[in-house]
């Protein structure tokens, strides 16, 4: 199958598929690669790929684009608050972030619905969907339609690279790209992949490092994702953020966002947003992108409980450099070699080191 983005869909087969399934039992529905790029996604992506590629973005849209675990949620919470609740008084501010800032390709991770079938009435995404587009069929891509019909200005999340999004994206609207030290991404993504039942990673940490280096984790190559954005960094509609900079100087970075977004916030508002979006406060509010939820009095377990108890939930540590507590010298050497080969060629510098 060929997508309108020009990518060929190649389902994972044979030993590669078996290995993925053994280590990630959550991928029982299989995986696909998109060539060129080796982007790794679920087969459900095929149902939304062309509509995402042809998505009608608006001038007022703001897209937060990142590879997984780079600080998407943090950036979404900052930007949503800047755009909608600079005085921290918006009544919706406690709703889960993905119901305020839709995740355009989230249907690729959602259970498939038959036409006319509806999700459980308590599913927070379905609650948001019914409010935003009450007459639409959720089986036709609930998250994509939620994104399409969301009131302006839309703040859209994606982990897709530029090459799978609308080719006119940057010429139409603003994009914020967040990058993070790959070693911290590995640690954070390893936790996430164990935490979430939809991945359910059961392999070792060492194997997970290797999956990352081989571009075999869901979404595919981090370096290529970053390269596609880095090449566009001088476009007036692209704003680049490093997680490490946001951590080291949140006020400075939020001021840059204020200028990029033309939100013209006061110093008191900016200070308030820094505090409100600190790791401590976001963890305490816990309106994470993923959560267990109640359905007719029964808890739907999206998260692995033992992982939550032992290693924490979505808001794990929120630090730069935690990889030092997890990596062996051998892993460190391997990743350094990978950085040398892939990231150094981009002319991109992680100023706090890797």
- Smallest distance, ligand PPS to C-beta of residue 73, A: 3
- Smallest distance, ligand PPS to C-beta of residue 91, A: 22
Contact call for residue 73 and ligand PPS (CB under 6 A): yes
Q: How many residues does the chain have?
A: 354
- Smallest distance, ligand PPS to C-beta of residue 314, A: 7
Query: CB under 6 A: which stretch of 210-218, 233-241, 301-309, 316-324 binds ligand PPS?
Result: 316-324
Cβ-based nearer residue to ligand PPS, 70 or 172: 70
Distance CA(308)–CA(294), nearest Å, equals 18
For residue 136, give both structure tokens.
Answer: 């639409």
Cβ-based nearer residue to ligand PPS, 130 or 191: 191
Q: Which of 43, 124, 153, 289 binds ligand PPS (CB under 6 A)?
A: 289
Contact call for residue 320 and ligand PPS (CB under 6 A): no
Distance CA(63)–CA(7), nearest Å, equals 22
Out of 159, 190, 191, 192, pick the active-site residue: 159
Q: Which of 31, 42, 57, 71 binds ligand PPS (CB under 6 A)?
A: 71
Q: Which of 174, 191, 199, 227 binds ligand PPS (CB under 6 A)?
A: 191
Contact call for residue 26 and ligand PPS (CB under 6 A): no
CB 58 within 8 Å of CB 152: yes
| Binding residue count for ligand PPS, defined by CB under 6 A | 22
CB 319 within 8 Å of CB 247: yes
- Smallest distance, ligand PPS to C-beta of residue 115, A: 29
Cβ count near 88 (within 10 Å)? 12
Q: Which of 31, 34, 70, 170 binds ligand PPS (CB under 6 A)?
A: 70
Residue that has been written with the tokens 């981090």 in this structure? 222
Phi, psi of 204 (to 5 degrees): -85, 165
Distance CA(101)–CA(105), nearest Å, equals 12
Query: CB under 6 A: which stretch of 166-174, 223-231, 294-302, 315-323 binds ligand PPS?
Result: 315-323
CB 254 within 8 Å of CB 82: yes
Burial degree of 9 (CB within 10 A; 0-12, 13-18, 19+): middle
Cβ-based nearer residue to ligand PPS, 130 or 201: 201
CA count, 13 A, side-chain hemisphere, 300: 14
| 235 catalytic per annotation | no
- Smallest distance, ligand PPS to C-beta of residue 78, A: 8
DSSP label of 340: I
Identify whether 153 is preceded by a cis peptide bond (ω within 30 of 0): yes
Active site residues: 159
User: Which residues here bind ligand PPS, judged by CB under 6 A?
Assistant: 66, 68-74, 184, 188, 191-192, 277-279, 282, 289, 315-318, 322
């Amino acid at each position: 199958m060929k997508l309108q983005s020009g990518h060929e869909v190649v389902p994972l087969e044979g030993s590669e598929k078996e290995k993925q399934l053994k280590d990630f039992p959550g991928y029982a529905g299989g995986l696909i690669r998109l060539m060129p790029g080796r982007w790794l996604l679920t087969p459900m992506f095929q149902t939304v790929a062309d509509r995402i590629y042809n998505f009608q973005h608006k001038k007022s849209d703001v897209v937060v684009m990142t590879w997984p675990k780079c600080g998407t949620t943090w950036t979404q919470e900052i930007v949503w608050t800047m755009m909608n609740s600079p005085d921290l008084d918006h009544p919706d501010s406690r709703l889960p972030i993905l119901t305020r800032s839709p995740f355009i390709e989230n249907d690729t991770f959602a259970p498939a619905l038959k036409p006319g079938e509806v999700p459980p009435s308590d599913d927070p995404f379905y609650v948001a969907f019914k409010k935003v587009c009450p007459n639409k069929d959720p089986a036709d891509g609930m998250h994509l339609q939620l994104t399409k019909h969301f009131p302006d200005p839309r703040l859209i999340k994606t982990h897709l690279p530029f090459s799978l999004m609308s080719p006119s994206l940057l010429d139409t609207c603003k994009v914020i790209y967040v990058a993070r030290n790959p070693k911290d991404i590995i640690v954070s993504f390893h936790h996430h992949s164990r935490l979430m039942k939809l991945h359910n990673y059961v392999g070792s940490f060492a194997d997970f490092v290797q999956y990352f280096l081989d571009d075999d984790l869901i979404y595919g190559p981090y370096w290529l994702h970053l390269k596609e954005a880095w090449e566009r960094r001088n476009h007036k509609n692209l704003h680049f953020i490093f997680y490490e900079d946001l951590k080291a100087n949140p006020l400075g970075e939020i001021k840059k966002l204020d200028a990029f977004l033309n939100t013209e916030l006061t110093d008191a508002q900016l200070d308030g947003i820094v505090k409100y979006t600190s790791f401590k406060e976001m963890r305490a509010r816990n309106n994470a992108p993923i959560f267990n939820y109640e359905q007719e009095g029964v808890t739907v377990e999206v998260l692995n409980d033992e992982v939550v108890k032992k290693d924490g939930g979505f808001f794990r540590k929120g630090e730069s450099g935690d990889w030092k507590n997890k990596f062996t010298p051998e892993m460190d050497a391997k990743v350094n070699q990978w950085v040398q080969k892939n990231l150094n060629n981009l002319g991109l510098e992680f100023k706090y080191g890797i």
